[in-house]
Amino acid sequence: MTYRVAFDLDDTLLSAINEFPYEAFPPPRGVQWLGFEPLRAATKQVFKNLKANRVETWIYTSSFRSEAYIRCLFWLYGIRLDGVVNGALHKKRVKNLRDKPSKFPLAFGIDLLVDNSEGVKIEGKRYGFDVLHIQPQDQLWHQLVENKVNEILR
């Protein structure tokens, strides 16, 4: 069985208002010129460690950034994503549900969602999916992720 971890983007791995330190940017020359957003510091290491443990890494965002943009952004940092769920795909997948949560990782086989939103944390309890709630100010966020995954994989 494959274990899947998905990460939110806004205020979790990306921040428009510089809430946290970033990975060295631009990774290759000219990335910023192309309009890509910088990733939160330690993102590359977290994804590398998860891959080393055969954990699939996904993005699950309520934003309507295109899948191509998201995959390209991570590729520029040397990260290959196993899956991407954006707002459009989420909306399509939950359209027949009576209640429509803002995120529903169970519909995509995602085992753990890493997200900054208190509302998503509450929805996780309500709808039965696992959320690791991290804040933009959590400087050791990467250790929280790795500890949680290690705890589950044991």
Domain ranges of the chain: 3-153
Tell me how far apart the alpha carbons of residues 104 and 153 are, in angstroms, rounded to a whole number.
Answer: 22
What pLDDT, in 10s, does the model give residues 6-19?
999 999 999 988 88
Cα dihedral sign, 148-56-51-120: negative
Run of H or E including 60: strand 55-60
What pLDDT, in 10s, does the model give residues 61-116?
999 999 999 999 999 899 999 999 999 999 999 999 888 999 999 999 999 999 99
Q: In the prediction, which pLDDT does 28 show?
A: 60
What pLDDT, in 10s, does the model give residues 9-46?
999 999 988 889 998 866 666 667 777 888 999 999 99
- For domain 3-153, which CATH number applies: 3.40.50.720, 3.40.50.1000, 2.40.110.10, 3.40.50.450? 3.40.50.1000
Give the phi and the psi of residue 134 in degrees, each rounded to 5: -120, 155
The tally of CA atoms less than 13 A away on the side-chain side of residue 11 is 12
